[in-house]
Structure 1
Amino acid sequence: MMHEELDDIPRMTRIDQSKMIKYILEFPNQLRTILDSYNSYEPFGVEDVCICGVGGSAIAGDILSDYLFDISTSPVFVMRSTHLPKWVRKDTLVIVVSYSGNTIEALASFKDALRRGCRIVCITSGGKLMEICHSLSLQYLELPKNIMPRAAIGYLLGALAIVLDREGIASIVSELKSKLSELESYVRVCSPEIPSNSNEAKKLAKRLYGHLPVICTQRNLRAIAARWQSQINENAKMLAFHSEIPEMNHNQIVGWLEGEYGPECLPVFLRGSSTDSVLSTMIDVTIRMFERSNSNAVIVDIPGEDILSCILNGIALGDFVSYYLAILKGIDPTPIHSISELKSNLSGHLIID
C-alpha cells in the first residue's frame, strides 16, 4: 500500500496543495541562481563572524559553520537567541538572517548589534529588517519573496556563502558551484517520478513511517541531522530528534543499548565522507554495536566523494524523506499551524522598538 501511495503522482499532487515539492526540487537551482546573481557585496575585512537567526533561517549558518570547522582560521559562530554573546565587538561581522524580516529573535539581535556598533549585513526577503537596512543604509542581500523559510534553503545557503566568501573567510562560492551538477543528478533520482523500488528517499520514508526517528551522525554532519529533524518535524508533523558522534557515545548510547524504550523509537545513522580517521572508526564501531543489539537501526550512507558533496546530498535526501513521510500520512507538508499560532500569541506581548 505504501509503495502505491508514494508512486501515485496524482494523489501526491492532491495532498501537496501548497506545492512544497516544487521547492525541494528547486534546491540546486536556488543555489545556482543566487550564487550567480550577487556581485556588489562590499566586504568589511573582518576576522570573526556571528550569524544570528532561528529555525529555517539559521540552519544554513549551521551548515556552513560546521563545514568551515576544518577549513577556516576565522571563527564562525551561529547564535539562536535574542542578544549577542559578550565576545561580539565592533570589529565582529554580525550576519542577521531572517527570511521574513520580521522574526522577533533576529530583530532583537539586530538591535543589539546596532547598539554595539558592529559591522552588520542582513539576509532577508523584506519585512522590518529590510526597512531598517534601507533607513540606515546598511548592506543586505535580498531573497526572493513568498517562500516558506525552510523551503528557501538554497537561497539562504548561497547568500551566506557569498558573504563569507567575499569576507575572505573561505573560498566557498566556487566550491559550491562545482557541486551543482552532482546535486542536480542526485535530486533527480530522489524525485517523485522515480519509483519506490529505485528511490532511496521513498524507501527511507517507509522505514521511518510510524516511528520516532532519532537522527545520529558524525560531528561534521551534525547540521544535516538537525535539518532532517526540523524537516520531519515541520513537513511530516512528526516528533524527531538528533544526536552526534562522538558525544552520544558518552551518554545516549547507554539508553539505546541498555535501557528500555518503545518500539516507535528508531535510531537512524547518517554516515558520510570524513577525513578524520578516528571519527570514522568511532562511527563504524558504534553502528556495529547497534546492529548487534537488534535495535533495528537504519543506516544511511550519504553519497559524495567529499564532505561538501555529502552535505548538499544530505540536505536533499532529508527534504525528500520528510516530504514522502507527509504524503504517507496524507497531510499537506507546508502549513505549520502551531508555529503560526505561537508567533501570533507572542506578537501581543513582545514589541521590538
Structure 2
Amino acid sequence: MNLLDYPRWPSLARESILNIPVDLRSRRVTIQGRTIDYGEDVDSVVITGMGGSGVVGDIIGDLCWFWGCGKPIIVSKGMRLPRALSKPLVIAISYSGNTAETIASAREALNRGFPTIGITTGGKLAQFLNELGAPVIIIPKASAPRYGLPALLYPALVILERFGVMNVASELESGIVGMEKAVKSLEEAQGIARRIVNTVPVIWVTESRRGVGIRFKNDLNENTKYYAIVSVIPEGAHNDIAAVMGKQQGLSHVFIYGEGDYEARYLETLMEVVKSYGKEAITVKLSGGTPLESEMFGVAFLGLVTLALAEMTGTEPVGTEPIDKLKRLLDERKVIT
C-alpha cells in the first residue's frame, strides 16, 4: 500500500518551522501610507485558507479547547474576512500559493491594516507578500496540499506562540510522536477501512475534536471520492440522530474521541443508542498523552484509513479533477478578485 507522504510527516513538521523569520515581531509594513506594526498586541487571530490548507484552522480550534488559547481564533474559509474585526493577526494559508480565495483575504487584511503572515510553498501569495515586505513562510512540498498538513500546521502553531496566543513549544515533539504512532497502526487503519467500504460514513465527533472529523471527511472526499457526513455532538444528537436511525441503508457510523475528552461519556452514551437501533458503531479513540499528540494521531491515522479504502476500491487517491476544473473556471471568469 502506498502511504504517500505520511511517513514524511515528522520531517515535514520539523523542516517547516526552520523558515519562520526570526524578526517576525519586529516587522513593519507600509500599505497605502499606513504602517502595520507586527510588534503590537493583537486581540484575535484569523486563520484563512481552503481545503487541505483551511483545515489547519479547524485543528487549532480543537487544540484551544484543551490549551485555553489567550485570544479568540476565527476560522475563515471564504473570499472575504469577517467585518467585525478590530486588531487581529491574520494567518493566510495556501499550500500552492495560488488559492484565489486566500489571496483575496490576505489582500483585504493588509488593506485594512492587519498584520498578515503567509504560509505556503510559493506561488502568487508568496510573490504578493514578498513585494510588500510582509512575512511569508515557505514550506517543503508534498504530493498534494492535504499530504503536507504538518508543514502547514507547525508554522502556524509557532506563530501563535510568538504572538502570545498559546504556549505550545513544549508539545511540538509530542505531536510528532502521534504521527509516528499512526503510521505504525496501519493494520488497524485497514481494518476500519474494511468496515466502511461501500457505505456513506456518518462521522460522529465531539465539539473539541471537530477538526479531526472535518479532516477525515475531507480525506474521504478527496482520497477515496466518498461522500461523508460530519455530525458534531452534542448538537448532532438533537437532530442528525433522528434521521440516520431510520430506514436509511448504506450508512456506517464512525465515532471519534479521545479517552480523556470531557465529552467522551456523552459520545459513549450516543453509541449505545446507535447500537440499540441495530447499527454498528465503529470507534476511533485518539491515542496520546497531550492534546497535540492525540490530534495528530487522529488526523494521520484516519488519513491512512482513507488511503486503505482507496486501495480497496481501486481509486486513485491524489487527483481531484472536479476541484481543478472549478478552479480553472473561476480563474477564467475572474469570479474572485
TM-score, normalisation: structure 1: 0.86
- Could you tell me how far 1:23 is from its partner in structure 2? 0.6
SS in 1 for 2:80: coil
- After superposition, where does 1:130-141 map in structure 2 within 5 Å? 130-141=126-137
Residue 72 in structure 1 maps to residue 69 in structure 2: yes
Structure 2 distance, partners of 1:221, 1:341, is: 32
Match of 2:162 among 159, 162, 166: 166
Post-superposition offset of 1:33? 2.4
Greater shift in the superposed pair: 154-163 or 292-301? 292-301
CA distance in 2, matches of 1:268, 1:75: 30
Q: Report the counterpart of residue 124 of structure 1 in structure 2.
A: 120
Equivalent position to 2:284, from 300, 303, 314: 300
- Pairwise CA RMSD: 1.8
Q: Answer yes or no: is 1:85 the counterpart of 2:67.
A: no
Deviations 1:188-226 (A, max 9, x none): 232xxxxxxxx1101011111111101111111110010
Give the direction of change, closer, same or farther, for the CA distance of 1:299–1:146 in structure 2 (3 Å limit).
Answer: closer
Say whether residues 1:22 and 2:4 are aligned partners: yes
Return the offset for 1:182: 4.6
Query: How far apart are residue 168 of structure 1 and its match?
Result: 1.1
Paired residues for 1:207-218 under 5 Å:
207-218=195-206
Letter in 2 for 1:184: E
2:268 paired residue number: 284
| Residue aligned with 1:72, SS | coil
Aligned amino acid, residue 149 of structure 1: P
Partner residue of 1:104 out of 84, 100, 107: 100
Match of 1:251 among 239, 244, 261: 239
Q: Tell whether the 8 Å contact from 1:216 to 1:225 is kept in structure 2 after alignment.
A: yes
Asked if 1:322 corresponds to 2:322, the answer is: no
Distance in structure 2 (CA, Å) of the matches to 1:319 and 1:126? 25
Structure 1 residue 271 corresponds to structure 2 residue 285:
no
Which of the residues 226, 251, 256 maps onto 2:214? 226
Counterpart position of 1:261: 248
Query: Do the aligned partners of 2:181 and 2:297 also contact (CA within 8 Å) in 1?
Result: no
**Per-residue displacement from partner, 1:22-58 (whole Å, max 9, x unpaired)?**
3122122211222455361513332310011110011
Q: Secondary structure at the match of 1:97?
A: strand
Aligned-partner Cα distance in 2 for 1:33–1:273: 31
1:296 deviates by 1.7
Deviation for aligned residue 1:305? 3.2
Shift of residue 141, structure 1, vs aligned partner: 0.8
Letter in 2 for 1:333: P
Give the structure 1 partner of residue 45 of structure 2.
Answer: 49
Contact 1:229/1:240 (CA < 8 Å) preserved in 2? Answer: yes
Give the distance between the partners of 1:289 and 1:236, measured in 2 at CA: 29
* Kept in 1: contact 2:222–2:317 (CA 8 A): yes
CA distance 1:204–1:186, change in 2 (3 Å): same
TM-score by length of 2: 0.90
Does the 8 Å contact 2:6/2:147 carry over to 1? yes
- Percent identity between matched residues is 30
SS at match of 1:58: helix
The 8 Å contact of residues 273 and 305 in structure 1, kept in 2 or not, is answered as: no
What is the distance in 2 between the residues matched to 1:352 and 1:137? 24
Q: CA deviation at 1:132?
A: 1.0
Secondary structure of 1:26's match? helix
1:32 alignment partner in structure 2: 14
Give the direction of change, closer, same or farther, for the CA distance of 1:352–1:238 in structure 2 (3 Å limit). closer
- 2:183 counterpart letter in structure 1: V
Inter-partner Cα distance in structure 2 for 1:215 and 1:252: 11
Gaps of 5+ in 2: 26-37
CA, structure 1 residues 117+182, in 2 after alignment: closer, same or farther (shift >3 Å)?
A: closer
Q: Is the 8 A contact 1:274 1:307 kept in 2?
A: no
Residue 84 of structure 1 aligns to a residue whose secondary structure is: coil
Which consecutive aligned stretches of 4+ in structure 1 deviate over 3 angstroms post-superposition?
35-39
Moved more, 25-34 or 310-319: 25-34
Task: State the distance in 2 between where 1:249 and 1:34 align.
Answer: 39
Tell me the residue number matched to 1:18: none
How many angstroms apart in 2 are the aligned matches of 1:311 and 1:130?
29
